[in-house]
Structure 1
Amino acid sequence: MADNYASWRAQFTNLLFGYDLLGCLNGTTLCPPETILQSGSTTPISNPECKLWKRHNDYILHAILALVTWAVASLISSTTTSHEAWQKLEITFANQSRTKMLSLHNILMKTTKGSQSIVEYTQTIKIITDDLALMGYPLSEDEIILHVLNGLGNDFKEISAAI
């Protein structure tokens, strides 16, 4: 999961946003009180909003557990809310995702055309920049152009200078 956490996270949060359930996951929508007082009464009654929140929370928690490997599921199996599970996943995988991002940036800076054809070289750059974008770290068009030009070498110095 460390390899695709950023894209998995983006897909999952977009899905929940579409179903208006993101607040339960990110903790902005808290569980309402279990009981409420009906107007004009002193006897508490069950709060239907609490029941709905708990159902949404259980659906989301079940979806998370169903979409991760058994090793990852064991990390979050003791959680009781989707928000708590989400936070554990963030803590566990966000740093690994950042490490991968830094590694991809490093590879990108060191990538040169060398003996590759222009097509192979630009494909290599595209794969790396696409991976960064999927992880949530997109490069601007100007940054990509600079990386391409820097790795071309002396054979293309006139073209690089002109650009």
Structure 2
Amino acid sequence: MASSSALDLPSISHIISVHLECDNYPTWLAQIVPVLSSCHLLSYVDGSYPSPSPTISDPKAKETLETCFASPNQNHLLQLRSDLLRMTRGDSSITDFLDRIHSITDNLALAGAPVHESNLLAMVMNNVGPLYENTVVAAQAREKPIGMPDLEALLL
């Protein structure tokens, strides 16, 4: 677990205004060293402290990323399914709507509870709103059932 003094990766860009290039090493170094020092990371970068092993050598080790972050927590699965069922396009663009759906379905799949394509198709078609009614009717009227990639192409 990260210490309370560790920086989040996205926040470091607010602290380091100079990006390393061929002609600005001294300026960049003057900014990065205090940041790494304050996070107790400088000793890993300058080699004075050995870096931890990039892999876990004990096959019985429980502290892996998958165990910590992708384990199928029942409450988390219920929340994701609930979010998916309540998802509507509303005022958002069709691209944003589909991106939000993909984010949720990707998380469900990673947690071992993938959403069947027919359920996803029904959910999308029922929630895109009246602006896409003709597109949905055309997709449903096809002789061959439509797949999710084809439906997305029609909606976009």
The TM-score, its normalising length taken from structure 2, stands at: 0.45
The higher-RCO structure (CA 8 Å, 6+ apart) is 1
The TM-score, its normalising length taken from structure 1, stands at: 0.43
